[in-house]
Amino acid sequence: MTAAAVADQVLELGDGRALGFKVYGDPAGAPLLFLHGTPGSRLKFAIGHDAGKELGLAIVAPDRWGYGLSDLPDAPSLPAFAADMAALMDHLGHAQFAVGGISGGSPYAASVAAGLASRVTALALVSPMGPIDDPACRRLLSRFHRFAFTVLPRSPRAIAAAFAVFRASLERSPRLAARLATLRAGARDKALLAQPEIARWLLGSFREGLKPSLAGPVCDLQLFSRSWGVDHGAIRAPARLWIGTADTAVPIGAAHLLARSIAACEVTELPAHGHFWVVANYRDVLEWIVVTMGAGAETRRSLQGATKP
């Protein structure tokens, strides 16, 4: 089965809300809950479908709140998101699972790892948004990040207006959308989005997430801008964080602060790489998850013994 043939699924939560998702890779494999960024959708992880099958991973890819097929709750919070993910993984029959988050999905992933600590076997955070509400972090924010993550969140209408422009570009001019997505990015990110296949996949994920409404990014930015209400000290799983030194989309200092708040978190700095590093290196992340969570002894031994170029 190709990634395009993976069926949409919708879970009705206890309060009647819809939670949309896909399961890429090997549906019978070791479960990995992977959370997309801001914006994004369940389509984000289609790129990992073939590698997931090969590595024996069932990549559970939900639309986060307000994106794609998923409804927004009346009182969104990061701890409440963990409860929804518990319901999803219960529905799929997974008592234990790994968790990953990319960019704006990382605060949600860390919340799941903290709130469901006894169930989470590994935590992967890629180009993550960190806790900018911390006073030490706020002092280090660039002018752009201070506006985007402390000023803009005060006005839901302003957030919606900004993302409405981006949504319109996705529909009418993908080339313009790619330029907007990499407006402040470095050369490596621009080069990645200049590749037609990557641009179609990534922009398609953005388009699907923003299609029904702009509620997702409004929710994200408002949650990111205040105290997360998550005890990262409760995280028991081994964790790893990847951050490019040329990442301009998220505050790098906040990413390091997030890592320091997690007891067993290894940090991998990626010299000269930007926010979209994972687009060309997603297999590195999946392989780390496989080895860490112990998914499949034979696969684990082969990966540990492999010599990488």
Over residues 70-80, the pLDDT tens digits come to: 999 999 999 99
Residue with tokens 């990534």: 202
pLDDT higher than 70, residue 54: yes
pLDDT (mean) for 272-292: 96
> What single DSSP character describes residue 148?
I
Mean pLDDT of 164-181: 96
User: Average pLDDT, whole number, for the chain?
Assistant: 94
**3-state DSSP assignment of residue 77:** coil
Residue 309 clears pLDDT 60, i.e. is over it: no
Please state, in angstroms and as integers, the Cα–Cα distance from residue 241 to each residue in 91, 122, 255, 256, 300, following that order. 28, 11, 8, 9, 20
3-state secondary structure of 79: helix
Residue 298 pLDDT greater than 60, yes or no: no
CA 265 to chain centroid, in Å, comes to 17
Whether the CB-CB separation of 58 and 25 falls below 8 Å is answered with yes
pLDDT at 304: 43
Residue 302 pLDDT > 60: no
Angle at the Cα of 48 from the Cα atoms of 265 and 68, rounded to 5 degrees: 95
At residue 276 the predicted structure's pLDDT band, cuts being 50, 70 and 90, is very high
Q: Is 80 exceeded by the pLDDT of residue 301?
A: no
Distance between CA atoms of 160 and 213, rounded to whole angstroms?
9
pTM over cut 0.85: yes
- For the chain, the first-to-last Cα distance in angstroms comes to 29
User: What are the helix (H) ranges across the chain?
Assistant: 49-55, 78-91, 106-115, 135-138, 143-146, 156-172, 174-181, 187-193, 196-210, 215-224, 252-260, 277-293, 297-305
- Three-class DSSP category at 139: coil
pLDDT in tens, 218-253: 999 999 999 999 999 999 999 999 999 999 999 999
Whether residue 251 has a cis bond before it, omega within 30° of 0: no
Span 84-89, mean pLDDT?
98
Cβ atoms < 10 Å from Cβ of 138: 16
Half-sphere exposure of 183 (CA within 13 A, CB side): 6
Rounded-to-integer distance, Cα 49 and Cα 286, Å = 11
Lookup: tokens for 277: 């590093």
Tell me which amino acid residue 278 is: V
Q: How confident is the model at residue 199 (pLDDT cuts 50, 70, 90)?
A: very high
CA dihedral 176, 177, 178, 179 (to 10 degrees): 50
What is the Cα 138 distance to its own chain's centre? 22
In order of their start, the domains of the chain are 3-305 (3.40.50.1820)
- Per-residue model confidence as pLDDT tens digits over 103-118: 999 999 999 999 999 9
Share of the chain above pLDDT 70, in %: 95
Question: Between 156-172 and 215-224, two packed helices, what is the crossing angle to 10 degrees?
Answer: 130
Residues 7-53 pLDDT 10s: 999 999 999 999 999 999 999 999 999 999 999 999 999 999 999 99
C-beta atoms surrounding 36 within 10 Å? 27
% of the chain residues with pLDDT over 90: 91
Phi-psi region of 276 (alpha: psi -120 to 50; beta: other; left: phi over 0): alpha
The pLDDT assigned to 107 comes to: 98
What local confidence, expressed as pLDDT, does residue 167 receive? 98
User: Mean pLDDT, to the nearest integer, of 85-106?
Assistant: 98
pLDDT given at position 137: 85
**Three-state DSSP class for 45?**
helix
Cα angle for residues 161, 228, 240 (degrees, 5° grid): 100
Chain segment 119-164, per-residue pLDDT in tens: 999 999 999 999 999 888 888 899 999 999 999 999 999 999 999 9
Whether 300 has a pLDDT exceeding 60, the answer reads no
